[in-house]
Amino acid sequence: MRPVDLVIRLEWLAATVAAVVFYAATGVSWWLFALLILAPDLSMLGYLAGPRVGAIAYNAFHTLIFSLALLLAGSPLASSTTTAVALIWLAHIAIDRALGYGLKLSTGFQDTHLGRIGRERAGAVR
């Protein structure tokens, strides 16, 4: 792994920690966190309709745009639950990026903007 890749992964790890710490501050039950932390991965069901639809569905739930919009909506609504759900979503995305999983390309589930999943595990060098 290149040093710059390590720094990027550490940044995402820091984002994960921040999301969890802020989640704790909402006072919302940890059961909700446990229930929803993997919910964005349900978007993988889009791959049942093919790689193009799958990539669109997966990426829609794995970009910061919608989760940050939900987080911003939670503040004026004074809704700790809305804020908590957004923070869970952000934590999920940050964990994925810290582990090296990126947004999907329409060529297949293994192809991401960070490279092909499994390359490092197979011994390939980036």
Tens of pLDDT, residues 74-83: 877 778 999 9
pLDDT, position 124: 41
Task: Return the ∠ at Cα 124 (arms to 108 and 7), rounded to 5°.
Answer: 90
Q: Report how far residue 6's alpha carbon sits from residue 18's, in angstroms, rounded to the nearest whole number.
A: 18
121's tokens: 């595990």
pLDDT, position 122: 40
Percent with pLDDT over 90 in the chain: 69
Mean pLDDT, all residues of the chain:
89
pTM check: above 0.95: no
* Average pLDDT for 24-33: 97
- For residue 125, what pLDDT band results from cuts at 50, 70 and 90? very low
* Nearest residue to 83 via CA among 11, 19, 38: 19
pLDDT of 55 above 90: yes
Domain boundaries, the chain: 3-116
pLDDT of 121 above 80: no
